[in-house]
A and B are shown apart, each in its own frame.
Chain A
Amino acid sequence: MSLSELERIQLTTRNFKELQGLRTACVGLVWLMMGLAQVDPSPLASEARGGIGKLTSSVAGLGVVLALFLFPRVKAYYRRTFGDVEQSSRSSRKSMAAFWVAAVLLVLAAAYVGLLPMGRLLTLLEISRLLPLVFGSAMIYHWFVLGRLPELSYRLALGSLLVGLASRSPRWLAGPDGQGVIEIVIGLSLMTAGLLDHLYLVRSMRPPATPAQAAELASNPRAEHRS
């Protein structure tokens, strides 16, 4: 048992719930659908805009219902497939508190350097700019919490993308589709991060050895019993 194996065990156990990426993907699906419902689907065919808009809204509504339907089932899937861990309440509470402190500090820092005008911080336009900043900083923060592993660096990349999106010009966001596009990008980022988290968890939680593999390991202790 190498030190890196023990590190993998510790990291996966400590962050078992955070790594259940299909839950994040469901949240991402809701954001994606909310964004799709707001974006004008047919800028070139203005006469068809009404009908297509209704269709998009219906599809988006169905997507949200699907995500809400899947969310509790995903939780059950993880429990059934990989078991259950009761995480240390002290560490998860501390982790969340640290995140919110970091998020507030980031927003204040952004306001200080002029990225977000303080006076308009609570207007709808600024809130829409805050969203990618909050989601982006959450992704970057989680990457730090999860041990800055190169395997999880997609969190850093997606987080940086969202923080970068928050710093785009307000004129671009003030367009008719600005809010919808932001929500689509947030949704896609959450879905991508979620799916990659899920793959990491699946790789980390390798299937238990079969009795045949255990017997082979007993006869040849140097052999790896897992492929």
Chain B
Amino acid sequence: VTTPFEGLANLDRLVHEPTRLAILTALSACKSADFLFLQHITGLTKGNLSSHLAKLEAAGLVVIEKRFVDKKTQTRARLSDAGREATAAYWQEMEALRKGAARWQPTGAKPQPAIG
């Protein structure tokens, strides 16, 4: 018999990591966002954000584009189709876990007496 908490181990680690989840959440709420925005909304340093974006890009969840705007390079990121699916699947899984945890009672546990 599995407990709902064992499902936590099956969560996509790449998405579940809090910083990457914050980046994916921001990108799932828009078409694309530039590097400066992502830095502000997540509060990450340039190095940290670059490293997390590189990991997400390598996994095919995020697409990075570099453009020239006013003679300056602008880095924009957007979710790939796989990224959108992975983020949606993650939240579905979390919701299922939440519901499972609310219903779950340890085996052999005595039912709680009614209060009042």
Q: Which residues of A approach B to under 8 Å, CB–CB?
A: 1, 5-6, 9-14, 16, 82-89, 204-211, 213-214, 225-226
Contact = CB atoms under 8 A, between A and B. Distances in A.
B31 A82 contact: no
Interface in B21-58: 21-22, 25-48
Given A1-B22, A6-B21, A87-B30, A82 B45 contact: no
A9 B41 contact: yes
Nearest to B19: A1
A88 B28 CA distance: 9
Report the interface size class on chain B. 20 to 34
Contacts of B32: 85-86
Contacts of B113: none
Interface string B1-33: 000000000000000001101100111111111
A210 B44 CA distance: 8
B64 to A, nearest CB: 14
Interface in B65-116: 74, 76
Contacts of B34: 83-85
Given A9-B22, A83-B35, A84-B37, A225 B30 contact: no
